[in-house]
Amino acid sequence: MNTQPSLEDAPRVLAIDWSGAKSGARRKIWLAEARNGELVRLENGRNRGEVAEHLLDELERDPRLLVGLDFAFSLPAWFLRDHELTTATELWQLADREAEAWLEHCEPPFWGRPGRTKPELPSHFRRTDAAVRPVGGIRPKSPFQIGGAGAVGTGSLRGMPILQRLSDAGYRVWPFDRAEPPAVVEIYPRLLTDAVVKSSPKARANYIDARFPELSLRHRSLAASSEDALDAAVSALVLSREAAAVTALDAATDPVELLEGRIWCPDSRYAAGSVEVDRFEAEEEIGPFPGLLAALQFAAERHRDQRRKGREASPYINHPIAVARLLAEVGAVSDPVLLQAAILHDTVEDTETTLDELEARFGQEVRRVVEEVTDDKTLPKLERKQLQIEHAPQRSNRAKQLKVADKSSNLLDIAHRPPKNWTPERKQEYFDWAERVVEGCRGVNPALEARFDEVLSEARESVADS
């Protein structure tokens, strides 16, 4: 029996890859439209308010709409209860009044901005965040994280007032309402795209060609043009192909789900059985450890006879450890691929290790990041340094963060443990060069970039005072 709706009955699906960025939203927010499993529109150019207006206009034109929005529709239940909120709608109204102040001050439970470390909380996650399966080691981030790599809190807080407008206009917001069109559901695109390396243009293009070969050349090119475009396009296509099941979903009856919401994805993406949030948070804390320990042991063995250039001649392994700590503690990075790459980032350039060896031991994604930050030692030193400046803007987000942390660590060493015989002029030359490299890496991890700026200022002062 065919359960797919007819062409006339099938809802139009709009998937929006969201952004909470204060500037540049028109470039980052992508909207994709699909119908009967076919992509019919893929575009950017709207800010958050304009997206909301467009969804309201589309509702008037044709109410047979299913909309997927890429942000958390609520916060952990304890937050609502502490604020005496009995429904998610009341949270959206509170966010309309208070979200910008929460973002400006970044007081607990919010965190991630420079100087705002992760606080102790009853829970950092909603139950739905814990329930979905990790994809390529990546899991949903805490909606309280409003700074650092992968932060989702800013977009969520700025999206909640939009939900209130859509609800007031007649959209049903699942799971607080049933998902009969016109309906809005929360999506987490990583669950729908699977483990594609989104930072790689080539990987995006290969993925689109392999999974959606029926797309037009124009749509294939657009979908592969950026991570945001890919997320919107794939989310719309998956939602459209699952539309019959989605639009048949009832409203939640579970009291926690009625407060926290639920990420929509095919059932196979949810972990089997129930997952307790406290166990998920424990796993979130220790998740990267096995891979990190293996990377640390490997790097320690490869760098065992090497020393840093400073007067103290400290063991070289101290440097990659310091880089990984900057990523984790300052940049709030929990991505195991990036942290392993940080530990391993000098093994190819400074030891006999090969990229193929890294891939065999730690996987293709780790190899790619290390490869991006490895200089070609067959080139003259001045040419290598110039290429770092020129290539920085084209590097993946992972590689950019690693570069910023690496340069920050080097600046600290030069300021406090400088190499023998380095004159003040040579130090300043290094500072100027590092600043130019990092300039091409900005816009990915504000906390990490702010730390670099602090370290650079400290390093320049140390030379001026010497």
157, 103 in Cβ contact below 8 A?
Answer: yes
Burial class (CB in 10 A: 0-12, 13-18, 19+), 170: exposed
Q: What pLDDT is stored for residue 12 in this prediction?
A: 96
How far out from the chain centre does Cα 226 lie? 13
In the set 38, 350, 453, 454, the catalytic residue is: 350
Q: What pLDDT is stored for residue 8 in this prediction?
A: 57
DSSP string, 217-249: HHHHHHHTS-HHHHHHHHHHHHHHHTHHHHTTP
List the structure tokens of 104. 């400006």
Verify whether residue 349 is a known catalytic residue: yes
Q: What pLDDT is stored for residue 279 in this prediction?
A: 47
Q: What pLDDT is stored for residue 151 in this prediction?
A: 78
CA distance 11 to 75: 29
Q: What pLDDT is stored for residue 136 in this prediction?
A: 62
User: Which residues make Cβ contacts (< 8 Å) with residue 453, sequence separation at least 6?
Assistant: none
CA distance 343 to 144: 28
Q: Hey, which residues does 185 pair with through a beta bridge?
A: 68
Q: What pLDDT is stored for residue 201 in this prediction?
A: 83
User: pLDDT under 70 in the chain at which residues?
Assistant: 1-8, 136-137, 148-150, 268-290, 465-466
In the set 177, 349, 357, 454, the catalytic residue is: 349
Q: What pLDDT is stored for residue 362 in this prediction?
A: 85
Q: What pLDDT is stored for residue 439 in this prediction?
A: 95
Q: What pLDDT is stored for residue 302 in this prediction?
A: 92
